[in-house]
Copies of this chain bind each other. A is one copy, B any other.
Amino acid sequence: MDTPPLYRQLAAHYLDAIRAGALQPGDKLPSLRSLMRQHNISLSTALQLCRNMESEGWVEARDRSGYFVKRPRRLAIAAMDEPATDVAPDPAQYVGIHSKVSDFVARRRQGEVRIDFSSARGAPELYPGEALRASMMRLLRQKPALLTTATPSRSLNPLREAAARRGLRVGMTLSPQEVLTTNGCIEALNLALRAVAQPGDTVAVESPTFYGLLQVLESLGMRALEIPTSPQTGLSIEALEMALGAYDNIKAVVTVPHLQNPLGSVMPDAHKERLVALCERHGIALIEDDTYSELLDTDTPPRAIKSWDRTGNVIHCASLHKILAPGMRLGWISAGRWQSRVEMLKFTQSRSNEELSQGAVGDYMNTGDYDRHLRRLRERLRQQREQTADAIAAHFPAGTRLNYPPGGLQLWVELPDRLSSMTVFDRALRERIFVAPGTLFSNSSRFDHYLRINCGWPITEPIQAALRRLGEIVGECAAVQRKAA
């Protein structure tokens, strides 16, 4: 890893001091002269240090008196309430989630979107494109017949090996043979659901959840039963237990334990353990979507749910789309006691994935560069999340709430006065700003006054301006709503 410039090293030092509380909001940074003396640096380096900390929102300059530690604006914004879990969840109905989503996609296509906050994607520059490309070229040189040789099914390759080996870090002991490569996590989820349930069956999901999952269920003719989910701790085990008592055709639960999409919640280990036991007791499959774990702000990744699995009842799905290579469709699945059924379904659905991409990416993952990339990625996403949250705190009207997650590339925002996110969506689209309205994240209308805001892109001036404008739009819409009431 390259050594960062001196002013950045010093900025990190002062940031640590702020985080640790040694420097409190309102405290003054040392003067330029003290900084120069203390760290033996030039005036220009001292200035760079202060300006960097200012531009990242940690300190503010006050005329002639120096730089002062700011209270991060995002800390001023209220957190969300916990959902009620003591009510039986309403039975899920088919509501045509796909037609909802298609409608948004179609509206978007009517004009050119200028700023897109709607996706859950990282900017290309956050990922090691050059290293992946080099790895691929190397493999193409080493194995000239790779593109013209049919991939034998079940053959091992560096990706399956890397995924199995990294599984050890989160408590899963899987052989590479038990890790089946798929076309992204979405194919893994399709296979998992097809393996454990039939059309007409019910599948318990988190509420809210990402519309991709609701679309899969709809396309497979399965019914989604939405379980209340905490912005902090994820899926409510109590509510799930109640649902399992109330409905007898639930065949599976799908959960995103770490950095749930869209909430950003993280399930505590104790919940994971209870969830595994609960699903086993009821004989329903537990499908773990582990797409985001590597984006958690920690160098010690949390245990996978599957690490508590003793009976093969947990199906683990993951992907590289958010963490390593957005331009490649590589995911994998370890399906426990459904492994051979999943292998069959994968074979009949799309055959084995190509060797080339698996080899190139797997080779990279088997170097130390991969962990260095992940650390850098987490740090950059952390900065982007902080800046986005600060902008929301600064520009959105009072009453806005925010769930500030410990990782990942999106924020979940609750609008004030139960303001319709569709109104905001339509209004923002006129200015070519695209957001994901909460209505997409449920078959119910429970989240119609929420927005999901992507912060996977570096916070440039146009993005700052768009966040400011979005806040104004929310304010204007709220004012119109109040007048109408």
Cα A50 to Cα B458 with chains together (Å): 71
B328 and A354 form a contact (CB under 8 A): yes
Does chain B have a CB within 8 A of A416? no
Note all chain B residues with C-beta closer than 8 A to A215: 344, 347-348
A348 to B219, CA, bound (A): 7
Q: Whole-angstrom distance between the alpha carbons of A436 and B405 in the complex?
A: 55
- CB <8 Å contact, A344 and B102: yes
> A219 to B345, Cβ gap below 8 A?
yes
A463 to B132, CA, bound (A): 40
**B residues in contact with A386, CB < 8 Å:** none
A148–B129 contact, CB under 8 A? yes
Rounded to whole angstroms, the CA-CA distance of A121 and B102 in the bound complex is 39
A469 at the interface (CB under 8 A from B): no
Structural contact, A326 and B150, CB atoms closer than 8 A: yes
A141-162 with Cβ < 8 A to chain B = 144-151
Cβ-defined contact, A183 with B151, below 8 A: no
Chain B hits for A198, CB < 8 A: 199, 221
Check if A325 is an interface residue, CB within 8 A of chain B. yes
What is the minimal beta-carbon distance from A102 to any residue of chain B, in angstroms? 7
Residues 174-199 of chain A: 1 if any B CB is under 8 Å from the residue's CB, otherwise 0?
Answer: 00000000111011001000100011
B-side contacts of A151, CB under 8 Å: 327, 329
Does A353 belong to the interface (CB within 8 Å)? Answer: yes
Of the candidates B124, B345, B349, the one whose C-beta lies within 8 Å of that of A149 is B124
What is the count of identical protomers in the complex?
A: 2
Interface set, chain A 113-139, CB cutoff 8 A to B: 119, 121, 124-130, 132-133, 136-137
A144 near B129 with CB under 8 A, answer yes
Q: Cβ of B102 and Cβ of A130 under 8 Å apart?
A: no
Total contacting residues, chain A, CB less than 8 A: 58
Say whether A98 faces chain B, with CB atoms less than 8 Å apart: yes
User: Given the interface contacts A147-B325, A150-B321, does A350 sit within 8 Å of B133 by beta carbon?
Assistant: no
Which chain B residue lies CB-closest to A191?
Answer: B349
Instruction: Indicate whether A37 reaches chain B with its CB closer than 8 angstroms.
Output: no
Q: Please report which residues of chain A, range 193-221, place their CB below 8 angstroms from some CB of chain B when the two chains form the complex.
A: 194, 198-199, 212, 215-216, 218-219, 221
Is A278 an interface position by the 8 A CB rule?
no
- Known A98-B348, A215-B347, A329-B354; judge A147-B140 contact (CB<8 A): no
Task: With both chains docked as a complex, state the minimum distance between the C-beta of A2 and any C-beta of chain B, in angstroms.
Answer: 18
List of B residues within 8 angstroms of A130 by Cβ: 144
Residues of A within 8 A of B (CB): 98, 102, 119, 121, 124-130, 132-133, 136-137, 140, 144-151, 182-184, 186-187, 190, 194, 198-199, 212, 215-216, 218-219, 221, 321, 325-329, 344-345, 347-357
* New A-B contacts (11) at CB < 8 Å, excluding given A145-B327, A349-B349: A119-B150, A129-B146, A129-B147, A136-B147, A137-B140, A146-B327, A183-B350, A186-B349, A194-B219, A215-B348, A327-B354
16 example contacts (A-B, Cβ-Cβ < 8 A) are as follows: A98-B348, A119-B150, A127-B148, A129-B147, A130-B144, A132-B148, A145-B327, A150-B327, A151-B327, A183-B351, A186-B349, A187-B349, A199-B221, A212-B348, A219-B344, A219-B348
